Structure 1
Amino acid sequence: MFTAICIFFCIEAYVRYKRKIGIDEDKDYHQKYQYFGQTIYDKSNHPTGYELLLREYSAQDNKWQLPYGVENFPLNRAAEAIEAQAKLFDNSIKMLAINMTVSQLLDYRSENFLNWVQGIVPDKLIVVELDARDVLQSNWWKKRRLIQILKILDRKYTDIEISIEGVDSSTFCYKKIDMFLPLISDIKFDAAAFNKSENHWIDVTLGQWKQKLKKYDLNIVLGKVETQNQDDLAKQLKIDYRQGYLYQKPTQIE
């Protein structure tokens, strides 16, 4: 009976591994890939980091575009793309932000990916960005595992930080994100979520968010800034960092 149970779990684990995507499954990923950079600026408008945004080259359209299924892109290929471009990163830029999904970070091979990236750019701070909806809509088991992983990363690495991005003005986000705030280093807000209009109700203002975050030692980033009004809001509230099309669109790193 014990042997039969062991065989069953081995088969189940093998099937689960073969179906796993987002780490090292290369199926259907045969195009040319490259990271574009979007600069992150501080309060004084000095560039402090890049968010690395994956792009795929389309020979048919003769242009770089967002890859299909980017949320499940194999992390080994992501590391290869970073390695190919590592020498192009400006020495004055000390931080690189990389997007990952919750499932990717929870995979037991994700630590290998992070160690690989650290080896490629040992002089940079690596910020792993997790999408707020991905985090908050995860089931109870995923959230519990994520908290465990965040504690391990905080204890084990001094040059890898975690950011939650895409944080909006909803009451749901405001109330449900609390459990993660002591375990992350950065929080990035979506500027469009705080646009006041007749068709868009703001449950929680950016000022209220900033007041809530006072007890946490977090870097606050206003992302997707596209208008002067949004920039003025960032300046008024003395937001630590800002990023968006108003300052720079994602561009090839040269």
Structure 2
Amino acid sequence: MYRYFIQPQLNKFTNSLVGYEMLIRKYDDQHWKLPQNFAAISVDEQVNLLKQTANRLGLKVGSISFNLNRSQFIDDHMAEALIQAQHELYPVKLIIEVTEEESDQLVPEEALVAQAKQYAEKGVQISLDDVGSGFNTYNNIKPLLPYADEIKFAMQNFRRETREGEIVDQLQFWKEVASRYRIRMVVEGTETAEEDELLNKLDISYRQGYFYGKPHLVKLE
């Protein structure tokens, strides 16, 4: 059985909830865990569950974010289903977070750009996840930036890679990128009051992380 957990995203300076990130989990061995193979979950099951969860929330937020790896992002069946979901969920914005996996490096850049154009034309927003870490360097995501509405910077990735000393410089760099392309920048993985204060000093308003709220299950019954 699959369900979505949700984690709040907020604008710290207006003290407002702006959206939720949807995180799919599988119930197995008496507990919820991250699915081992996302490709094994059918498109229709994922999108139908997305719509059920969003409706259960009562559409009380401005946006809901839905994760796709690059292979899923260029899948035409997935695109058709999500574009239809956006029509049904309007005026709530559906945001596709484009994640990275090692196998995604084989996905052609031209296919990514073409699909990004289609989503943008149909009113589905695009978020580029995990910028500055892993494969998502500036040069690798630059072709997608003209079609993006958002970039996400994950502080937990830098902690995991023992790159904490780079966080401030990287935050300033990506904030400048977001300003240049006139898109939102969301910082996720915020876990402490010190990190919260750092983002205040850097004047970064959009936040996500355990400091503001942990993912929790949305019951559909």
Q: TM-score range by the shorter chain?
A: 0.7 to 0.9
Contact 1:86 1:120 (8 Å CA) reproduced: no
Q: 2:117 aligns with which of 134, 143, 151?
A: 151
Structure 1 counterpart SS, 2:185? strand
Q: Which amino acid aligns with 1:190?
A: A
Where 2:127 maps in the other structure, the secondary structure is: strand
Q: Which residue of 2 aligns with 1:106?
A: 74
Q: TM-score, normalised by structure 1?
A: 0.75
Instruction: Give the Cα–Cα distance (whole angstroms) in 2 for the partners of residues 38 and 241 of structure 1.
Output: 13
Q: How does 1:62-77 map to 2 (within 5 A)?
A: 63-70=31-38, 73-77=41-45
Unaligned runs of 5+ in 2: none
1:159-194 per-residue CA deviation (whole Å, 9 max, x = no partner) reads: x10001111368971333322211211000011345
1:56 aligns with 2:56: no
User: What is the CA deviation profile of residues 102-121 of structure 1, one whole-angstrom value per residue up to 9, with x for unaligned ones?
Assistant: 11121221222113322442
Paired letter, 1:184: A
Equivalences for residues 17-166 of structure 1 within 5 A = 32-43=1-12, 44-58=14-28, 60-61=29-30, 63-70=31-38, 73-131=41-99, 133-134=100-101, 138-139=105-106, 142-154=108-120, 156-158=121-123, 160-166=124-130
Cα displacement (A) at 1:208: 2.3
Q: Which has the larger radius of gyration?
A: 1
Structure-2 separation of matches of 1:106 and 1:209? 25
- Structure 2 letter corresponding to 1:249: K
1:229 aligns to what?
194
Q: Secondary structure at the match of 1:249?
A: coil
Describe the shift of the 1:137–1:111 C-alpha distance in structure 2 as closer, same or farther (beyond 3 A): closer
Partner Cα distance (2:146, 2:21) in 1 = 23
Q: What is the aligned residue count?
A: 216
- Kindly tell me: are residues 199 and 138 of structure 1, through their superposed partners in 2, closer, same or farther at Cα, counting changes over 3 Å? closer
- The answer to whether the Cα contact below 8 Å between 1:224 and 1:245 also exists between their aligned partners in 2 is yes
Aligned-partner SS, 2:129: strand
Q: 1:17 aligns to what?
A: none
Partner of 1:188: 152
Unaligned runs of 5+ in 1: 1-31
Measured at CA, do residues 69 and 130 of structure 1 come closer, stay the same or move farther in structure 2, by a change above 3 Å? same
Provide the TM-score with structure 2 as the length reference. 0.85
Q: Tell me the C-alpha RMSD between the 2 structures.
A: 2.7
Q: Provide the residue aligned with 1:247 in structure 2.
A: 212
